[in-house]
Structures are given as structure tokens and as C-alpha cells.
Structure 1
Amino acid sequence: MQDTGIIILAAGSSSRLGTAKQLLDYQHKPLVQHAVEQALSSDPACVIVVVGADAEAVAGTLVDHDVKICYNDDWSTGMASSIRKGIEALLNDHPLLTRCIFSVCDQPFLEAHHFMQLHENQLESQKGIIASAYADTLGVPVLFSNFYFPLLQQLQGDQGAKKIIAAYPDDVVAVAFDKGSVDIDEPADLRYLIQEMVSVSEAKAIIKKHAHFVRTGIKTLSESLGYTVAEQIISKYDIPGFRQSSMDGYALKFEDHNNRLEIVGEMRAGKQSDVTLLSGQAMRVFTGAPIPTAADTVVMQERVYREGDWITVADEQLTLGMHVREKGSEATKGTLALAQGTVLTPAALGFLAGIGCEKLLIFEPPKVAIIVTGDELQEVGQPLSFGQVYDSNSIQLRAALQKAGIETVQVFHATDDPAALEKILGQALLASDLVLLVGGVSVGDYDFVVQSALAQSVRPHFHKVKQKPGKPLFFGTKDETVVFGLPGNPSSALTCFYLYVLPAIDRMMQRADSVCYSKAVTTVDYPKNSGLTHFIKAHLMDGKVLPLHAQESYRLQSYAQANCLLVIPEESTGIVAGEEVQVIVLL
């Protein structure tokens, strides 16, 4: 391959997908990165990536890869301009190369050996064109000998490699690439990107990467509990704005503390006039009261002998400045009082009130839509017909969202009809920052969530997680809106909420993770097969954890009694009594 260069065409705008397909995730990396890494693994002389639309973002995914980025400012005129640009860059840098391979970035099943097969077949056949064969056609990746370089430079408009392949059929060898027919052009094609089941840790990492919506808003102090400050709070005042006593006692000059001192008045908290203290004098002061000018120390009232209007200090531990709160000791005018990212606890709100802060810029909670799907669901309070069950998911998820600080929640109910679901989802995507689709996320005949999401141009990131309960779990994004497809079984839905939705909300609100992990000792044996992480409803007390009954994913009775989830890792074959285990504390 050292006499062969690879040119990857990644300049298109992906208008049919509504997003840059070069950046779509496949096996936890952008498609263009996958194509480049497979090309590099075949050890060619060079790899050139031709970019156009979304050039900066596409190039940004390849900064750590040994490739040449070639920008085609004429990309919108058609494929030919990118082919010409690639050949030009190839000949400028490597004029003696005898072959080049053209590839695209939207074939998810492209692997290094496909490039190497083209090269090997060219050596064996001595033909000038070696093309991939799939779906009754010949296409990319395709190898051309240098004889065809001038012809490639003459292509115009939408003309691609197939024009030259068709013009020289006797100089073409086909190499089978059955999955080459899978490319990402339409929303329905996106299903190929999410076939792989991801681990729990991979799912969390993917969500963390893509749940980056942030919105700010103004709230008063009384409205701000639990939110996160979205800006630095700079103190407008010195707090306290005057020197202040921290004790009930007597203000004096420290240099006079061994002398008998005359009491010349008193200062109470709230006193608005200043007084200057002279040598030999003391003044009665109370906690929070201003310190007279020239006084520098306060002695506690319990540490003096008073005779009428005279005192004698009886405090051997008294030091200069004792019991005096200096001006600006709580907050100094013009300096940082509270850092951006601070969670507003009751103490934080009290501090801000104390420095005169009235309103705050905070990170606002996302607007959430819950779409519950299923013909079998009946509203609570209505009689059940045969085959119906009450909708518990919208109740429990709304309550969980409320506990998480979410203020705006819309609940929709959709029947098992793709058109109806797609319409409701479209409305929810326009009005919400976070959409929870509940039910219909598996692969049954009436599970329409994923296809409806793809039809609404939701970009998929994964569809299955190696866990029990909640293996069928969809995660996607559309622009900055985050979309979860939760299982319909109530126990599975709630577990997925705690594991994935709540951390996404925390990230959107710029606060620490609400999910609390701890260690405990299990009291019983609990066997399982390796391959899935298990989350067991359990009860935690005094450092010991007991798995509860009714672990089936449709049952909430044990969840209602649980105060934690016992975590048994994917690779584990079970736990034994007395073993230390990880638990998720349900607060």
C-alpha cells in the first residue's frame, strides 16, 4: 500500500438527514473518524480527507490523526469537485504514487481489509480499476491506477467514479463488499448506526457527551433554592460596611487595657451615628454594633470588673483586635463573593441576602415532555376494560422530574400508531429540551418509537444497553434537544430514569450528579449470568443490603419498598453473602 494514496470524500451537507452525517456516531466515534481510522490501518502512503460543509467540525474530529485535510470551497457543485480537489492534493504531495483509492465516510461497515483487497486484486489482475461490488452495482471504495488520474480531474458536477467505471468496463475488476450497500443517506438508514449494544459505562459517557443543553434565566433569591449560579457574583458593598463587635462587651483601645477606663456611652446594633473614643475611655457595645472610631478591641462583658461608670479589664488572653469584625470581612466591594457553578443551598441564599443580592442569573431546568405510548393504557380513575392497565409511568416519572427540580412538564399519550406518534413527537421536540418516550422502544411489531424518532430527524446514539432491567433503551438528540426512549415496563423505566435521565438533567442544570453511590455488605447470595449489569431493587440499613422480592421489570411493589439499587457488574456471575457491593442510594 506504500504506492497507494487514499482519498476520503467528506464534503457533503447531508441535507436529507438534517445534520452532518460525517459527524454521526458509529461505534462511539464519528463516521468520518471511523473511515479515516480504517484507511490508516491499511498502511497507505497517505490519507487525504476532502471537507466542505461543516468543515471545521469535521476536521476537528481528526486532529489526532495523520491525515491531510483538504478544503473544497466548491463542494456544493457536486461530487466531481471533491474528486478533483483530492487528486490535486494527492499529486502535489505525492506525485509519484501509482494508485489512489476513493472512499466515502458514510459506509459504517467499511474496514481496513476492504482497502487492502482492492490493492491486492490490482496487483494480481494488473487491471486499472478495482471497484467494490454490492447490490448489483459497482462503487466505492474504488481503486484507480495513475492512468485514470487525468480523467478523474476532468469530472464535472455530480459525476463520480461510476462514470469512469462505466466507460472502461474491460479494465475493471469487481471485489465483493456485500455491506457496501449500507450508506447513510436517509433517516431510516440511521438504524445501522445503533445496532451495537453498549455497556452501562459507555451509555453514560455518550449521554454526558451529548446532553450539553444549557439555558440561563433570572430568579429572585426566594425562587433560587437548588439551582446553580450561572455567573460570578461580585459584591456591590463591603459587608459589614463598618467595623462591628462580635460580642456583648466593651470597646477600647488595646493600649489602654491595663488601665482603669471610664464608660462614656453605649453602641447598639443599628446605631447610625459614629463616636470617637479617647484614651482612657471605653464604650459599652453589643453584638453587631458599630465599633467607635479609634477603638480597636472589644473585651467580653464577663471579663471586666465594673464599678459604676468605670471598668477594669480582667482578661489575660485579650489581644489586639479581639472580637472586632473588620469592615468587608464577610464580603469586599468589587471582589468575588460567589463563584459561577455554586449550588444555591439555604446557606448560600442567606449569604447572598446578607451582601444585598436580590436577583440571580441561574442555569434553568430543561423543559420536559413525557410521551407515553400504548393502546393498553388507561388513565387512573377510569374503569379498566379487558386487556387494559393503568398508566403508572407518567405518574412516577412526573414525580421523579418534580423531585429533580423540573418545573415545566407536558404529558402526552400516543396510541400504537406510527403517524400519530410521529406527530406528537414533532410537537414535543419543538417545545421541549428533553423528551421522554415511554414504551414501544423494543423491536416488536408495535414498537414504533425508534422509527418515529428517526423520521423526525433525531440523531441516534444507542438503542440497547447491557443491563437488566432496561436493556432496550434509546438515546438520541435533535439539535440541542435530548431524547430518551424508555422501556414501557414501569420498573425498567424508573431504573433508566435514575441511571441516565437524572444525570442528563444534572448536566443541563450544571450541578453535581444527583445519583448517590455507596458501598454495603450483601446479606444473601444472588447468582446471575455474566454479560449484563444487574440493578436489583433492595433495602439498605446499617451498611447491609437485602435484595427484595418481585424483581420482574413490570412490578413496582418492591420498588415502592426499596431505598437503593444493588449493582452487580456485567462481568460478574453473582454475589455471595458477606461480599461488599456497590449500591445506588435512592434519595
Structure 2
Amino acid sequence: MEFFKTILIEEAVNIIKEEFKDYKLESEIVDLDDAYDKVLYEDVISKEFVPEFDRSTVDGYAIVAEDSYGSTDTIPTVLEIIGEVKMGDRTELVVSSGKCAYVPTGGMIPKGANAVIMIENTEKMDEKTLLVQKPVRIQENIIKRGEDIKENEVVIERGKKLNPAHIGALASLGISKVQVFKKPKVFIISTGDEIIGIEEKLEFGKIRDINSYSLKAQSKKIGLEVVGNIIVKDDFIQLKEAILDGLEKSDIVLLSGGSSVGERDYTKEAINSLGGKGVLAHGISIKPGKPTLIASAKGKLVIGLPGHPVSAMTVFMAVVEPFIEKLYSLNTIKPTIFAQMTENFPSSAGKDTYVFVNIKKEEGKYYATPKFGKSGMITNLSKADGYIVIKIHEEGVNKGEIREVYLL
């Protein structure tokens, strides 16, 4: 029996990036309504100012701020009302000392005014007389022209995954279509005589296909398009045909199971029979997930993941996600927090150890408690809030230690 030689996670990631360094994602133009959660292909540069004019952030009166200094309920400042700004219209009103003009929220600030006093801090004596009962600062309740977005400013950078705030910013600029990356396609294969579909009757010795569903969800989360998935028995011909089918339909093929070194694990043999460079690495120094296979077949990436669900998902996060981030030029960072460990936890000698944790917040501080469980237990991950990584050179983590937690 042939045993694999393990490499570091960093080496595995670098092997993939180097082998597929010339692979480029194409772009497409989509409507703004369809742009949410897609990755921006190029910088969005504003061609205008937002707002286009100085405008009020409240309903109130545009005034000269200095007129309000010292104003109180008992000793108000008396101002002359010279008119009203109509919402959506340009105003030709000019405010000088001793005068004011009504402005609605979002309305244009008249020339000469340098503040807006909220309507609730005033009292209107008659149609021409206003009592100001509170002082305001210069520029209070005013958003200046271009204060939100300036002309020729980079509003959103290439590689940003578009969220609702980004969509709003694009709408503010009148952008109805946006150039985004096309999603890489992925094909998922679950292997093993014991694997059955989730709708099949569960018989003794059989296992429902967990990995197809968890890997599909992980793939969609990081911006992949899942174009197919299949269950294949431990048969060389069937496995080879399934991989070929996946290579024709997708950019990346993920296999779960069959990446070990057992007598009936045909993944390595099947991949090497397809032409191309074949298997590039077999075995990663990671727990859980050691028996991982990295290959190039017909110029496309093939990853052989362990069969245990938690191991497969862990390797996906450790190896596949960094490659996809590089393809997308993603400049977002996986969300993390810093938390205090509530228990000691040992590392596995010679491996990077991924430890899933639960997070609790008390009095403004985060606390992380390790979840103990084996790599075949999917609930070990489904009930976790995040994970920490104990690097290969570390002996473990100690109770009370502050660690970076990657949120799931």
C-alpha cells in the first residue's frame, strides 16, 4: 500500500495558485437588481458629485449660524422668514444675517446660509417671523456638495463582493448596470459504495450523502456556480467517467471520499489516467483533513477531499477558499473576532489543527469554547460559531489565551 507524503497548508495553497496562475475569470454585465453578492470586476469611478448641491438633513430653517448663538427658550433670536425651498427644485433665495428660509429634509441650502436649525427648536410667530430657541453650529444639519461622493472618486474597488450598501451607492450615481466576474463553475462528486442519496431508504451500513449538500452550500457562499453533483460507487471506470463529465461541465471538480490510500480508493489512479499533470500533491498537514489530493486534469483543478463531512468542509475552507479569493481579486477579509479561550486544547503534532468553537459574549468580551468531536460528526460543525487555527509549531491553546476566531 502506498502512503502519501504530507505538505503544509501554505504549500498546498501555493501549488494551486502557481499551477493555475494563468487562469482568468471572465466578466459579464448585469442589471443592478441582479448585482447583489456578485464580485465587482473593475473599479467604479464616480462621474458626478453626491450630493450635487448642499442639502439639509432635517426639516428646518436655513440660517446664518452666528445669529443663533446665545438663543434660548426664554431669550430667542428673532429672524425674518424670506421664503421656502421647494423639495426637488433649485432655489434662488439668499439668506443673510437676520433672515431665514424653510428647507425640507433633502432640500437645497440657499446661498448665504451655513446651518439649519431643526423645526422643533423654533417657533413660528407669524408667516414672516421665526423665533430661534437653540444655538446651532456652523454646517450643522447640512451635508455639503460632494461630501458623500466626489467626482472622479473610486466609489467601490474591484474585488468587492457587492452588498446592499454598495447597491445603494451605485443607484445614487445612476448606474443601472455593472460589470462583475462570471462565477467559476464547480462539479461535485461523492464516492463510496456506502453513500446513498438523501431520499433513499437508509439501510444498515449505508450513509446519506452529506458532502454534496454541504459542499454545494460552501461553494455558493464563496461565489461558485454548482453545475452538477453525482454519487459514484468505488469503481474505477465509473469514477473516471464522472471526473471527465465534471471536467467538461466545470472549471473545478471536487471529489469527497476516495482520497485516502486504501486498496479501493481509485481517485489518484483515475485522475492520472486522464492526461495532463495529474496528481500534484497527496496529503496535507491538517487536522481534520490529512488525506487531501490536489491535481490538474485537462488543465483544470481537481481536489480530492476526505470523506468525513467535517474534514471535507475544513479542507475546503483551508485550500479552496484562498484560491477562489485570488481568482476574484477579493479584497474583503473573512470576518473574525478576538475571543478568550475558556479551556485548554492540545494541537496535533506536525499538523495545523482546526478547532471549532462556540462564541459567547459577556460584558462586552467574547469567549470561545472548543467543541469536541470527531471529523465524521457533522453536528460538530453545524453547532459551531467559528474556528481557530493552531499552527503546526504550536503545542496548543491555553485557557485565558486570546485567539483570532474565524466566523462561519
> What is the RMSD of the two structures over their aligned residues, measured on CA atoms?
3.4
- 2:401 is matched with which residue? 580
Gaps of 5+ in 2: 70-76
What amino acid does structure 1 have at the position aligned with 2:258? G
Tell me, yes or no, if structure 1 residue 344 matches structure 2 residue 167.
no
Higher relative contact order structure (alpha carbons within 8 Å, sequence separation ≥ 6) = 2
Post-superposition offset of 1:465: 0.9
Q: Which residue of 2 aligns with 1:370?
A: 188
Aligned equivalent of 1:326: 144
Aligned counterparts, 1:275-286, within 5 A: 275-277=92-94, 281-286=99-104
1:419 to 233, 237, 248: 237
Alignment match, 1:454: 272
Q: Which residue of 2 aligns with 1:197?
A: 6
Q: Partners in 2 of 1:540 and 1:268 — Cα distance?
A: 52
Match of 1:499 in 2: 318
CA distance 1:579–1:251, shift in 2 (3 Å): closer
Q: How many residues align?
A: 389
**1:256 & 1:532 partners in 2: Cα distance?**
71
Measured after TM superposition, the shift of residue 228 of structure 1 is 2.8
Match of 2:56 in 1: 245
Counterparts in 2 of 1:222-241, with a 5 A limit? 222-241=33-52
Q: Is 1:569 matched up with 2:396?
A: no
Alignment check: 8 A CA contact 1:296 1:324 kept = no
What's the TM-score once normalised by structure 2's chain length? 0.81
Check whether the contact 1:502–1:514 (CA below 8 A) recurs between aligned residues: no
Separation in 2 of the partners of 1:545 and 1:318? 46
Q: Distance in 1 between matches of 2:402 and 2:57?
A: 49
Residue 214 of structure 1 corresponds to: 25
Q: Equivalent residue for 1:521?
A: 341
What code does the residue aligned with 1:337 have?
V
Structure 1 regions of 5+ residues with no counterpart? 1-191
Distance in 2 (alpha carbons) for counterparts of 1:338 and 1:536: 35
Distance 1:559 1:245 in 2: 50
What is aligned with 1:434?
252
Could you tell me whether the CA contact under 8 Å between 2:115 and 2:136 is conserved in 1?
no
CA distance 1:387–1:268, shift in 2 (3 Å): same
Pairwise CA distance, 1:566 = 4.8
Deviation (angstroms), 1:436: 0.5
- Match of 1:362, SS state, is strand
Q: For 1:73-112, what aligned pairs fall within 5 Å after superposition?
A: none
SS in 2 for 1:360: strand
Counterpart contact for 2:186–2:254, Cα < 8 Å: yes
Work out the CA distance in 1 between the residues paired with 2:220 and 2:400: 36
The reply to whether residue 403 of structure 1 matches residue 221 of structure 2 is: yes
Aligned counterparts of 1:278 and 1:574: Cα–Cα separation in 2: 69
Change (3 A) 1:424 1:235: same
Q: Is the 8 A contact 2:271 2:297 kept in 1?
A: no
Q: Does 1:510 align with 2:329?
A: yes
Residue among 309, 329, 332 paired with 1:490 = 309
Deviation string, structure 1 residues 498-541 (Cα, Å, up to 9, x no partner): 222233333333323437475542524x5566223333444343
TM-score when scaled to structure 1?
0.58
2:171 aligned counterpart, secondary structure: helix
The letter of the residue matching 2:91 is: D
Q: What letter matches 2:315 in structure 1?
A: C
- Report the CA distance between 1:394 and its aligned residue: 0.9
Report which of the two structures shows the higher radius of gyration computed on alpha carbons. 1
Amino acid at match of 2:191: T
Name the structure 1 match of 2:74. none
1:574 Cα offset (Å): 5.0
Q: Matched residue of 1:446: which SS? A: coil
Amino acid across the alignment from 1:467: I
User: How many angstroms does 1:425 deviate by?
Assistant: 1.3
Matched, 1:263 2:263: no
8 Å Cα contact 1:458-1:476 kept in structure 2: no
1:71-124 Cα offsets, whole Å, 9 max, x none, are xxxxxxxxxxxxxxxxxxxxxxxxxxxxxxxxxxxxxxxxxxxxxxxxxxxxxx
Alpha-carbon displacement from aligned partner over 1:22-49 (angstroms, at most 9, x marks no partner): xxxxxxxxxxxxxxxxxxxxxxxxxxxx
Matched, 1:550 2:368: no
**Tell me, what secondary structure is at the counterpart of 2:373?**
coil
Q: The residue matched to 1:421 in structure 2 has which SS?
A: helix
Structure 1 segment 103-252 matched on structure 2, within 5 A = 196-210=5-19, 212=21, 213-252=24-63
The 1-side partners of 2:240 and 2:246 are apart by 10
Q: Is the 8 A contact 2:287 2:348 kept in 1?
A: no
Alpha-carbon spacing, 1:444–1:514, altered in 2? closer, same or farther (3 Å): same
Farther-moved stretch of structure 1 (300-309 vs 465-474): 300-309
Report the CA distance between 1:373 and its aligned residue.
1.5
Residue 241 and residue 385 in structure 1: after superposition, are their counterparts in 2 closer, same or farther (change >3 A)? same
Q: 1:295 to 1:517 in 2, by over 3 A?
A: closer
Shift of 1:479: 6.8
- Structure 2 match to 1:560: 382
What is the rounded CA distance, in whole Å, between the counterparts of 2:314 and 2:358 in structure 1? 15
8 Å CA contact 1:216, 1:361 repeated in 2? yes
User: 1:202: how far off?
Assistant: 2.3
- Deviation of 1:586 after TM superposition, in Å, equals 4.5
